[in-house]
Amino acid sequence: MSGDDKKRALVTGASRGIGRAIAQELASMGYDLYLTCHTNIELLNKLAQKLHNQYGIICKCYAFSVCSEADVAKMFEEIPYLDVLVNNAGISYIGLLTDMTYQEWKEVIDTNLNACFLTCRCAVPEMVRRHRGKIINISSVWGNTGASTEVAYSASKGGVNALTRALAKELGPSNIQVNAIACGVIDTDMNKCFDESEMEALIQEIPADRMGRPQEVGELVRLLCTGNEYLTGQIITLDGGWT
């Protein structure tokens, strides 16, 4: 397989948690991968080697801030095209709005929302030229409903949802599908900020009576990557029935 026949995917924030599970799923489907992390390049390189050994695919790893316009552009100089773009990198802030600095606000918005703009802007031209592509944005139920003490995170994910719907309309005529997965409580390091009692109270509100697994997000990404070119502009909620 060579040239335009090779399947290629980019996953941001892939060193652990949801991003790692998505990378594993795409590798099992035969995608060559471009994977990013912020600082933990050693962990990302170990994942890349594991996926190469297991599936024979090629992995290229990058460590930089996903909201750095220059670094994103430099990475895309090494990417001839993408079949799948998964915007997964994200950070959270828990605390009162009035206790949040403007810099902390900007970091959340930059990482969770503005980074999606940067990767999409770079990936879309070749997708349009090839008249195919999938863009999958990892969002949150808090982008749908809002969360007390997570105003910046909720705002950023609400922006991701709006970006998803609007870009799907813009790219629909070019046979490019844009969807988002609004995750509920997934068992990742991001939720380790909650103590045991807080987590138990949270799980009691979930009809499925448990947190979601990163692998379940990866499985949904797999479904969105396979066919069904009529499914676009959707915010698909994966939350165990919470909403």
* CB crowding 130-142: b at 16 or more within 10 Å, else e: eeebbbbbbbbbb
Reported residue count of the chain is 243
Buried b (16+ CB within 10 A) or exposed e, 22-60: bbbbbbeeebbbbbbbbeebebbbebbeebeeebebebe
Minimal CA–CA distance to 18: which of 180, 178, 232?
Answer: 180
Output the DSSP codes for 81-120.
--SEEEE-------S-GGG--HHHHHHHHIIIIIHHHHHH
CB-based burial label for 80 (10 Å; 0-12, 13-18, 19+): exposed
> What contacts 56, CB < 8 A, 6 or more positions away?
none
Catalytic-residue membership of 34: no
Candidate list 31, 55, 93, 153, residue with the active-site label: 153
Q: Say how far apart CA 122 and CA 93 lie, in whole Å.
A: 28
By annotation, the residues acting in catalysis are: 153
